[in-house]
Structure 1
Amino acid sequence: METPPNVDAVGAAIVEVQGVSDMFTRMQRACFAKCIPGAKESNLNFGEVSCVDRCVNKYVDVHTLVGSKLQESMEVQQKQQEAVQQTAQKIDSFFGSSKT
């Protein structure tokens, strides 16, 4: 039984939201620990704001880069699998036609 395409889209959207939420939580913890280790005042000072800004930008840039590299890798892997399947079909058709 094949699942409807809209169910797959909903599942993919849920996974994407979970991934973004996880990235945000990790980024928040990492940048807070690095830039605001001992928050004693209610407002951030200029150095803390600058540190958080740089940390968040780097975290998002790296996350985007890793995501695009992963996507490229998955596309290459899919093309390789398709090539293997085509080769297997050619071999099957070659040996299948020689049996008769």
Structure 2
Amino acid sequence: MSVFLGGTSQFSRATVDPEKIKLADIQFSAMAFTFNKLLRRCELKCLLHEYGEGELTKGEQECIDRCVSKYVKANVIVGEHIQSHGLNPFNSMPEYKKVQDILASAGKK
């Protein structure tokens, strides 16, 4: 019996689709990779590595805001370029290849 859902909940009889779990895992991995890359890049560009205080300075905060904004905008532009030119990201990105394989195997069922 779940503390949050109760024993008679509609979710007590729910099934888990392994294909959806795989897709969610791949999506999470891709997002974590992007976030960590963004974090490393903006940290190197914006933060002094001489920590005198625990809080960010106003200049560091503004730099990080600009860095994140530019990174996100660049990702949007690249995504739009890929879509508009009909390029296939499955050829160069292993995460997309995994998704394509999962979707293909799900379609065969």
CA distance in 2, matches of 1:12, 1:68: 22
Q: Residues 49 and 77 of structure 1: is their aligned pair in 2 closer, same or farther, counting only changes over 3 Å? A: closer
CA distance in 2, matches of 1:7, 1:53: 38
Q: Which residue of 1 aligns with 2:28?
A: 17
Task: Structure 1 unaligned segments of length 5 or more: list them.
Answer: 1-5, 79-100
Matched, 1:31 2:21: no
CA distance in 1, matches of 2:22, 2:59: 41
Kindly tell me the number of residue pairs found equivalent between the two proteins.
71
TM-score, structure 2 length as denominator?
Answer: 0.54
How much does 1:44 deviate? Answer: 0.8
Taking only aligned residues, the RMSD between alpha carbons, in angstroms, comes to: 2.2
How much does 1:8 deviate? Answer: 4.2
CA distance in 2, matches of 1:13, 1:53: 28
Question: Does 1 or 2 have the higher relative contact order (CA < 8 Å, sep 6+)?
Answer: 2
Report SS of the residue matched to 1:37. Answer: coil
Corresponding letter in the other structure for 1:35: C
Corresponding letter in the other structure for 2:74: V
TM-score, structure 1 length as denominator?
Answer: 0.58
Task: Structure 2 unaligned segments of length 5 or more: list them.
Answer: 1-16, 89-109
Q: Which residue of 2 aligns with 1:47?
A: 59
CA distance in 2, matches of 1:68, 1:10: 27
Deviations 1:62-90 (A, max 9, x none): 122223333444xx368xxxxxxxxxxxx
